[in-house]
Amino acid sequence: MRLQLPSFETPLPEALDEDAAALLEEAEGVVDVARTSYIGYTLAYLQESMPELYVAIKDEPSRPDAHAALVEITWDAIAAFMPVTHSSKPTQEGGKRLAAIARVSLPDDGDASFLDVGCGNGVLLPFLTAVGMPAASYRGIDLSSRMIDLAQRAHGSSGAAFVEASFDDQVKSGAKFDSIVFNGALQFFEDQPATLAAAAAMLSEAEDARIVVSHLSGARFVRQELADNPQTVSNTMPFLSEMQRIAASIGMQVVLPSFLGEEPEEIEQALQDFYLVIFRKAPPDEPADGDGGLASLDINLPEIMPEQ
């Protein structure tokens, strides 16, 4: 697959919203300072309007509702300034990796009902449609209302659905999907085995239904992310052996793209820089309580075409 990155744009607004612009001006153009101010103002609002939740955020940040609020506030603050911190198109390396995630997330014909957990501003959608998924088959959920707003602005006319919702909300809805993807999201879940088991229960009856866990910057980045922000980030990315154990416990098999390597040690090292692990239903002749198996998808990272 050869990519021309302008075809995969996720357009951002040309200017900041009025409140974000005012905070950035107050911070003399320093985005990190403006983000901190945004978070501070949001917490002050919560202290007045939802005092019990505010106290929980301060005293019990791991409590589920408090943690969800912290994640929402953090990503709202990131989204608020994305028009000046991010590009509408990914880097060449980012484009390769997003294309690889899209390819392993869908069956060969590309037609699958799709749940993007922690969808952000919808950056994965154009890569999915490029490999055959109808936009109307896509549902993206995120805790951040600002991220959902950016996604709707960028891709809302495509027929894709973007919803401000938690993963638990989606579980309770009873909806089924052929593909469920946690791209840059699994580290925000404290109980990763339970989360992946809940996702497995949401899969359709399709033989090639799957769960994909990915992170563009890899497991090493997430470890640092956890060290820097332990109140928001709950976990590291699971080691390969742990993913095999989780897969086996829910009757699934670990499948890996061939470009990660062949030997477990080589694969583990590759996952440090680009994390991409697929769960698919275990073949019927393999016991569900085995070691989770290891299978390979014969794909390489796509080539990037020079911009015209």
Residues 196 and 285 in one domain: yes
* Residue 283 in this model has a pLDDT that exceeds 90: no
Residues 39 and 136 in one domain: no
What is the β-pairing status of strands 114-117 and 179-183?
parallel
* Residue 2 in this model has a pLDDT that exceeds 80: no
Q: List the domain range (segments joined by +) for residue 227.
A: 92-304
Q: The domain spanning residue 282 has which CATH number?
A: 3.40.50.150
What is the reported pLDDT for 308?
A: 43
Residues 73 and 146 in one domain: no
- Average pLDDT on 201-227 reads 97
* Residue 292 in this model has a pLDDT that exceeds 90: no
Residues 169 and 264 in one domain: yes
Q: Where are the alpha helices (DSSP H) in 119-228?
A: 125-130, 145-155, 167-173, 192-201, 218-228
Residues 51 and 132 in one domain: no
pTM, full prediction: 0.93
What is the reported pLDDT for 306?
A: 45
Could you tell me if residue 13 is inside a domain?
no
* Residue 225 in this model has a pLDDT that exceeds 90: yes
What is the reported pLDDT for 111?
A: 85
Residues 136 and 267 in one domain: yes
Number of domains into which the chain is organized = 2
Residues 260 and 147 in one domain: yes
Cβ within 8 Å of residue 300, ≥6 positions away: 258, 259
Residues 30 and 116 in one domain: no
What is the reported pLDDT for 307?
A: 47
Judged on CB neighbours under 10 Å (0-12, 13-18, 19+), 201 is exposed
Residues 272 and 193 in one domain: yes
Residues 104 and 214 in one domain: yes
Identify the DSSP state of 62: T
DSSP-assigned beta bridge partners for residue 296: 256
pLDDT band at 301 (very low <50, low <70, confident <90, very high): low
Could you tell me if residue 6 is inside a domain?
no
User: Longest Cα pair distance anywhere in the chain, in angstroms?
Assistant: 64
Greater confidence (279 vs 297) lies with 279
Give the CA radius of gyration of the chain.
19
pLDDT band at 299 (very low <50, low <70, confident <90, very high): low
Residues 300 and 176 in one domain: yes
Residues 111 and 225 in one domain: yes
Could you tell me if residue 25 is inside a domain?
yes
Per the prediction, the chain carries an average pLDDT of 92
What is the β-pairing status of strands 252-257 and 275-281?
antiparallel
Q: What is the pLDDT of residues 130-149, one digit of tens each?
A: 989 999 999 999 999 999 99
Q: What is the pLDDT of residues 69-116, one digit of tens each?
A: 999 999 999 999 999 999 999 998 999 999 999 999 998 777 899 999
Last residue of a domain, one of 57, 80, 103: 80
Return the minimum-mean-pLDDT range out of 29-38, 141-150, 222-231, 284-293: 284-293
Contacts 24+ apart (CB under 8 A), 218-227: 218/271, 218/272, 218/273, 218/274, 218/275, 219/271, 219/272, 219/275, 220/272, 220/273, 222/187, 222/275, 225/187, 226/187
- The rounded percent of the chain whose pLDDT value lies above 90 is 84
